[in-house]
Amino acid sequence: MNDTIQRLDIEDRITFRCFPGIECFTQCCQDVNVALTPYDVLRLKSHLGIHSDEFIDKYTVVIPKGKKVIPLVLLKMDSENKRCPFVTENGCTVYINRPWSCRMYPLDVNEDGTYRIISDPSRCKGLNEKEVWEIGEYIVDQGMVPYEEMNRALSQVTIPLQAMDLDIDNPAIFKMVFMALYNLDRFREFVFQSSFFDRFKISEERIRLIQSDDVELLKFSLDWIKFGLLGQLLFPVKEKYLRKQDGREARS
């Protein structure tokens, strides 16, 4: 463990304030890598009112990570000035639905769950301001709670996948997992056109919710991956399909 890394707890305090007119306003939105979570993509594509296909094609760079099933998805910066496509001189045009890393700034999370400041007062003048925040208060103020909730749900997939170190070389599996996490509109079309709901026991209420609610759809897609890839028995087979299976086994 590198002891030089700053480690702040949720009760620790920072001084920070960002506002239009500050000398460095929006500079942190340029020449930076912004990794997007599935929930980030959900919020952004909904804010823009576009299909997730279009958002992925127009606003992301997808970087495969070897044999890891889930790739790195980055926000595509402007090719000329390396600036976020959603930022103008007046500020962020998607501020209410900005990604997790933008909300967390000037903080980031260490591997052990502690926090660190990722800029310095010479670059981020907001760190020279006198407004004092307890880190826990700052996280709530920046609207991080639903993002943290969805990140925890995602970790229930990513941590087991990392621990299992699956040796997967079927490109179809990579495409299906990516669709389920990042291309939610396409995943909704896929799952409703398949026989999945006919074959497995899922409540009518949940089916109704995932048909119209992207957050519920993302939660379902995580369960779908746990079921299909991690072997978690989350969806019981319906009786009629069990009988068909038993009949086939009896004839064989």
Q: Tell me: the pLDDT tens digits for 109-136?
A: 999 999 999 999 999 999 999 999 999 9
Distance CA 184, CA 190 (A): 10
Band of the pLDDT at 167, cuts 50, 70, 90? low
The domain ranges of the chain are 13-145
Segment 194-203 shows an average pLDDT of 94
State the chain's mean pLDDT as an integer: 92
> What pLDDT sits at residue 245?
57
Q: Which whole-number Å values give the CA distances from 49 to 21, 52, 112, 146, in the listed order?
A: 30, 9, 37, 20
Query: CA gyration radius for the chain?
Result: 21
Would you say 151 and 46 are in contact if contact means Cβ atoms under 8 Å apart?
no
Nearest CA-CA partner of 198 in 210, 207, 188? 207
Q: Give pLDDT tens digits for 36-89.
A: 999 999 999 999 999 999 999 999 999 998 778 899 999 999 988 999 999 998
Q: Any idea which residue has 């495969």 for tokens?
A: 64
Phi, psi of 73 (to 5 degrees): -115, 120
Rounded Cα distance between 24 and 88, Å, is 13
